[in-house]
Amino acid sequence: MSDTLVTSPALTSLSEEEELFRQTVRDFAESEVRPHVFEMDEAGKFRPDLIEKFFELGLMGIEVPERWGGAGGSIFLAVLAIEELARVDASAAIYVDVHNTLVNNALLRWASEEQQARYFPKMTTGLLGAFALSEPNSGSDAFALQTRADRVGDHWELTGRKFWITNGAEAGIFIVFANTDFSKGYKGITGFLVERGFEGFSVGKKENKLGIRASSTTELILENAKVPDANVLGPVGQGYKISIETLNEGRIGIGAQMIGVAQGALEAALAYVKERKQFGKAIAEFQGVQFQIAQMRTDLEAARLMVYNAARLKDAGRPFTTEAAMAKLFSSQVADRITSTSLELFGGYGYSKEYPAEKFYRDAKIGTIYEGTSNMQLMTIAKGLIKS
């Protein structure tokens, strides 16, 4: 597709290295991912060879230091990768997003030197990660989680169930949050590095979803799952802090996914309205359609600038929690609107799987839900305002 729509102040401000990286990921998404998007969505399964190629291309260790096999890059580079993949397929983007902005990020900030040396060389070459916080009765109220961790000799035993775990079907390493002391409330929550092969740990059912269907979303089952003491992530009782701070960065990644989805939907709609003829001329020549396209483009640019700003703030070591929440909130709203308008511009064809509009529409909806619903983002933004 044409690059016309993505030439904007937000992107022309990229460094030469960032622009080259963006183009590399775009070329990969077009040549390797796009040919399989429909079949993966229909099957509800992502191609394993594409995950392998993510690792080969260096997309799974963007912020990991070079000494552990990573690129030693920034979250801004991760945002560019997620955006470009989501422009073609939101499911492809979320594999890269969760692995980088949640799992790798948590280990970078909280894992010991020994843990990083043990896991990062694998996690940059083929070991996929997942982040396991949500439970059947613990969603927005994440600290109501009921998974229990008991110290037994030189190890811990975890018991409980986790729901809605992205990457669950393919991941080999999971950051699992459990409570080590319920008398302390959320201050008993602790993070654990759980490998797929650990005794007592198993992956349950895979969800049959509306959108991002090729991305695996599963249940995790822990039945006295044995976790070595060496696999506690950060200090015992600090899991609440680890999860909150990790999700702050993760929201920037979701923002990137949403602007990618919106970009793909806008490009598809623009190409269609130039070709579709009614009343003897292309519908792009009607002012009503032009106004819709113009509004879509404007909304997308605003959302992109917000996501990029949050990423730049994080990379600069400046506070970014409020900006990340605003970026995630607004980009998900924009993706919802743009994909809906795109579908309508396709008319009856938009409701058919023959064209990409309906998939973009389905994929966009998750942005208002996971890694904190829109209402939770509004709470975060409001708290930031009140404290300032």
Domain of 52, CATH number, reads 1.10.540.10
pLDDT in tens, the chain (388 residues): 444 444 455 554 799 999 999 999 999 999 999 999 999 999 999 999 999 999 999 999 999 999 999 999 999 999 999 999 999 999 999 999 999 999 999 999 999 999 999 999 999 999 999 999 999 999 888 889 999 999 999 999 999 999 999 999 999 999 999 999 999 999 999 999 999 999 999 999 999 999 999 999 999 999 999 999 999 999 999 999 999 999 999 999 999 999 999 999 999 999 999 999 999 999 999 999 999 999 999 999 999 999 999 999 999 999 999 999 999 999 999 999 999 999 999 999 999 999 999 999 999 999 999 999 999 999 999 999 998 7
Q: Is the pTM of this model over 0.85?
A: yes
DSSP 108-150: HHHS-HHHHHHHHHHHTTT--EEEE--BTTBSSSGGG---EEE
**SS3 assignment, position 159:** strand
Q: Quote the distance between the C-alpha of residue 232 and its chain's center.
A: 24
Same structural domain, 276 and 381: yes
Residues 68, 232, 311, 383: what is their CA dihedral angle, to the nearest 10 degrees? -170
Beta strands in 273-315 (DSSP E): 277-278, 281-282
Q: Cite the beta strand spans of 229-365 per DSSP E.
A: 232-233, 277-278, 281-282
| Residue at token pair 């909150």 | 244
C-alpha span between 36 and 226 (Å, rounded): 39
Question: Nearest 5 degrees, angle CA 53-CA 54-CA 56?
Answer: 60
Cα 310–Cα 69–Cα 61 angle in degrees, nearest 5: 30
Q: Mark which of 123, 141, 173 sits at the end of a domain.
A: 123
3-state secondary structure (DSSP) of residue 277: strand
The verdict on 181 and 217 lying in the same domain is yes
Question: Which amino acid is located at 311 in the chain?
Answer: A
Do 297 and 379 reside in the same domain of the chain?
A: yes
Cα Rg for the chain, rounded, in angstroms?
21
**What is the domain-level CATH number for residue 169?**
2.40.110.10
**Residue 24 sits in the same domain as residue 109:** yes
Query: Do 91 and 155 reside in the same domain of the chain?
Result: no
Residue 62's domain comprises 4-123
Beta bridge partners of 202: 221
**Does residue 150 share a domain with residue 50?**
no
Examine the domain organization and report whether 202 and 265 are in the same domain.
Answer: no
- Measured in whole angstroms, the distance separating CA 40 from the mean position of its chain's CA atoms is 18
CA dihedral sign of residues 38, 41, 46, 52:
positive
d(CA 174, CA 12): 38
DSSP secondary structure letter of residue 29: I
Which DSSP state fits 100?
Answer: I
Active site residues: 371
Of 176, 149, 157, 154, the residue nearest 224 (C-alpha):
157
Beta-bridge partners for 222: 160, 201
Residue in the block written with tokens 């600290």: 143
Do residues 272 and 225 both lie within one domain?
no
Residue 140: the pLDDT is: 85
Q: What is the CATH number of the domain that holds 344?
A: 1.20.140.10
- In this structure, are 203 and 304 located in the same domain? no
Based on the fold, state whether residues 245 and 357 are members of the same structural domain.
yes
> How much is the pLDDT for 388?
75
Same domain for 115 and 135: no
Distances (CA, A) of 176 to 81, 122, 197, 304, 388: 26, 18, 14, 32, 33
Residue 365 shares a structural domain with residue 248? yes
